Structure 1
Amino acid sequence: MLTALSGRSRIAGLEVYVPPARLDTAAVERRIGERSPGFRVPKGLIGRVTGIRSRSVMADSEQASDLAANAAAKVLAECGLQTPDIDLLIFASASQDMVEPATGHMVAAKLGLGSPVMDVKNACNSFLNGLEVADALIGSGRYHRVLVATGESPSRAVRWTVPDFETFASSFPGYTMSDGGAAVLLEAADRPAADSDGKDTAGILAMGFTARSSHWSVGTLAAGGSAFPRDPEATYFSMDGEKLKEAFLDLGCGILDQTLAEADLQWTDFAVVCVHQVSAPYREIFAERAGVPRDRLVPAVEDFGNLASVSLPLQLRLALDSGRCGPGDLVALVGLAGGVSLGMAVVRL
């Protein structure tokens, strides 16, 4: 589904929170070996397959809501806003503190917000879909200023005791994952108009999303729902890597081409293209198939791991901090997620 948005909302603030504790890939392999009698990961395998050198790990006392609240507090401070200035909080994450209530309430309580809240969940595309919902609500006139926050805590779902290679392979996604939080403040943009250079004013200019939901079972974290309410085995990531690759091939890149065509853009028009990164090799494969020039990518997974829905805001924050993009530039946010789904946002900063 393609949605042309014409700058109804703009990004007024963006911040990321990465927990200070680090776990390098060699330590991951050692931990599996220490806790798995009779099984040992071939030395260097995880690093060779993923390209990941390190990932962040939240403290035992932290929850997903803490990661989101930390990032959101930074956004409020950056924008010089007080809690009454926020009209709506959307917690958009694959992770959650608990099934009930919505984690957005925990985030709001930690920030001291009195606004309405809601949760948006779609695996690693949760944050991108959160932006979509926020933009639509702002465009409708329902809210003026929406805080979209995510807190990803996948370290709580890693299987460290591995009996055999088959179990290791199905649990592999957990060894790539990283904890973190991010928050974006969206506010109503000026009425769409061109500036003196003929460019659109800052805002979310276009979005496009698609899904092939018949592939939902190839990657799961099943615990906590009605299917597996109390099964300890369902508390770990489980994925068939080959079937997931086939699922994304089935999904194709058509929605990206359509979104670019509708906006009359090419990849070379963007200062940076942030692509969800599950591993370094797959980032390169996806970019090649989608036609994204390598010099537009923002490598992040090597040093930060797979941050799920935090991946895109992290890359944009890195690009801003390094001077690769800034006010007036076009950026693209391209999300891939289990389920499976693919989405894209075109943003002028």
Structure 2
Amino acid sequence: MNKKAGILGTGSYLPKKIIDNFHFEKLMDTSDEWIKTRTGISERRVVDENETTSYLSTKAALEAMKCANLNPQEVDLIIVATATPDMIFPSTACLVQENIGAINAAAFDISVACSGFIYAMTIAKQFVENNTYKNILVIGAETLSKVLDYEDRTTAILFGDGAGAVVIGEVNEGGILSTHLGSDGKGKDFLSIPAGGSKLPASKETVENKLHTIQMSGNDVYKFAVRIMGEASLKALELANLDANSIDYLIPHQANIRIIEASAKRLKLSMDKVYVNLDKYGNMSAASVPVALDEAFKQGKINKGDNIVLVGFGGGLTWGASVINWSIQGGKYE
């Protein structure tokens, strides 16, 4: 029999510091009402100067392992999806490996921006199903506050920090039914951090021109996202031999409430079947989907046997969607 890969446990971690919209009224020409109306965001979490992406990742990973009743020595592989690693190398995943004492685990990062968690989960699925690894930690984590220009109204108000994690392993029933991934490099300039790599190494000029911060063409990203979120979800459902009527719950990337509402409309879902925490956390890039997934599970919105759709989009441009038949009972949290 072919192995089935599924989620064995979930976890998340959010920094304690909260920045609300009124904070930005002091920095730029904006208002709480304008931000809420345009984005749906009321506040976001931000790390302090001592908190790193690996720190957030470690906290989320430990919670996911607890939920899955997994010891560190039983972890075979750690994949961290992040656009804000602690450093270029070593990988953030290796730092997590040391922090949690996963002495038997391989570790690597992937950089797919906001689609990263679904990409990483897809990789983990293959490793479990082909019997390469048994227990895989998949983490989406970001400290985006460290790469923002707080004078840029188009980006500063949108992003927050956080981490979410899952343990992927073999399940007897249900599991990850399908995944669909895609990319379009023609949109590479719509959402990027231009400097810091081999094309534009750090220099006096790149720092002065703020090229180490997030640059975004908001209208282009919005038009792309409204189209691709629904399309990707439908493709993943098709691969799972299901249709939109089979969806019990949708967990979308938390970028903009209007994008989320458009996705739900495309799938003919009422908003009570869609998880939204955008108002509390803003866009956490690769962390958005796993944090929302963990919260939805903790709150009892996801139950064993439910068909869950995860969907996201991000810089690259990239996108990904997955259909999961939920395999674990709630009540695992103290």
Normalising by structure 2, what TM-score?
A: 0.89
Q: Does 1:111 align with 2:100?
A: yes
Alignment correspondent of 1:195: none
Question: Retained in 2: the 8 A contact 1:7–1:204?
Answer: no
Partner Cα distance (1:173, 1:265) in 2: 37
1:71 corresponds to which letter in structure 2?
A: A
Q: Deviations over 1:81-118 (max 9, x none)?
A: 22110111111122200111111111111112221101
> Out of 39, 44, 53, which is 1:55 matched to?
44
SS of the aligned residue for 1:217 comes to: coil
Partner Cα distance (2:33, 2:224) in 1: 28
Q: Does 1:188 align with 2:181?
A: no
SS of the aligned residue for 1:124 comes to: helix
Alignment correspondent of 2:329: none
Q: 1:348 to 1:250 in 2, by over 3 A?
A: closer
Please state how far the C-alpha of 1:256 moved relative to its aligned partner. 2.9
Q: 1:269 to 1:77 in 2, by over 3 A?
A: same
Alignment correspondent of 1:124: 114
Alignment correspondent of 1:145: 135
Q: Does 1:23 align with 2:19?
A: yes
Structure 2's unaligned 5+ residue stretches are: 327-334
Please state how far the C-alpha of 1:312 moved relative to its aligned partner. 1.1
Normalising by structure 1, what TM-score?
A: 0.86
Q: Does 1:332 align with 2:309?
A: yes
> Out of 78, 87, 90, which is 2:79 matched to?
90
Please state how far the C-alpha of 1:259 moved relative to its aligned partner. 2.4
Partner Cα distance (2:253, 2:318) in 1: 12
Alignment correspondent of 1:206: 178
Partner Cα distance (2:81, 2:240) in 1: 26
Alignment correspondent of 1:194: none
Q: 1:63 to 1:43 in 2, by over 3 A?
A: closer
Q: Does 1:218 align with 2:214?
A: no
Alignment correspondent of 2:161: 179
Please state how far the C-alpha of 1:151 moved relative to its aligned partner. 1.9
Partner Cα distance (1:273, 1:250) in 2: 16
Structure 1's unaligned 5+ residue stretches are: 1-5, 34-39, 163-167, 191-200
2:25 corresponds to which letter in structure 1?
A: E
Q: 1:211 to 1:290 in 2, by over 3 A?
A: farther
The farther-off stretch of 306-315 and 286-295 is 286-295
Partner Cα distance (1:92, 1:28) in 2: 29
Q: Deviations over 1:28-56 (max 9, x none)?
A: 232x24xxxxxx33564323211211110
SS of the aligned residue for 2:113 comes to: coil
2:259 corresponds to which letter in structure 1?
A: Y
Question: Retained in 1: the 8 A contact 2:233–2:309?
Answer: no
Question: Would you say how many aligned residue pairs link Structure 1 and Structure 2?
Answer: 319
Please provide the CA RMSD for this pair. Answer: 1.9
Q: Does 1:68 align with 2:57?
A: yes
Question: Retained in 2: the 8 A contact 1:99–1:224?
Answer: no
> Out of 196, 208, 215, which is 1:238 matched to?
215
Partner Cα distance (1:218, 1:283) in 2: 19
Of all paired residues, the percent bearing the same amino acid is: 24
Partner Cα distance (1:66, 1:210) in 2: 30
Please state how far the C-alpha of 1:308 moved relative to its aligned partner. 1.0
Partner Cα distance (1:299, 1:81) in 2: 29
Partner Cα distance (1:109, 1:122) in 2: 24
Partner Cα distance (1:189, 1:252) in 2: 28
SS of the aligned residue for 2:211 comes to: helix
2:50 corresponds to which letter in structure 1?
A: S
1:345 corresponds to which letter in structure 2?
A: S
